[in-house]
């Protein structure tokens, strides 16, 4: 599972999303940036910044 935390890109934002692939994470994040942060134009550099901050979610053993 892949994880993106918006606070890594927009300080103070607690929103995050998980998905099986990076394309779905980027899609959800772009939608979030438009709705929550008022971003009308999502440039290629913003998509690159999103991709750079996507991580593998690690599951902690109980």
pLDDT score of 59:
53
pLDDT tens sequence across 46-55: 999 999 999 9
Please indicate whether residue 59 or residue 1 has the higher confidence score (pLDDT). 1
Angle, vertex CA 40, rays to CA 35 and CA 43, nearest 5: 115
User: Taking the domains of the chain in order of start, what are their residue ranges?
Assistant: 2-56
pLDDT tens sequence across 4-25: 999 999 999 999 999 999 999 9
**H-helix or E-strand spanning residue 44:** helix 44-52
pLDDT tens sequence across 18-44: 999 999 999 999 999 999 999 999 999
């Amino acid at each position: 599972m892949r994880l993106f935390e918006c606070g890594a890109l927009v300080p103070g934002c607690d929103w995050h999303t998980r998905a099986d692939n990076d394309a779905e994470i980027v899609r959800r994040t772009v939608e979030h940036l438009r709705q929550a942060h008022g971003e009308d134009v999502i440039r290629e550099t913003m998509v690159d910044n999103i991709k750079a901050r996507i991580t593998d979610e690690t599951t902690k053993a109980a």
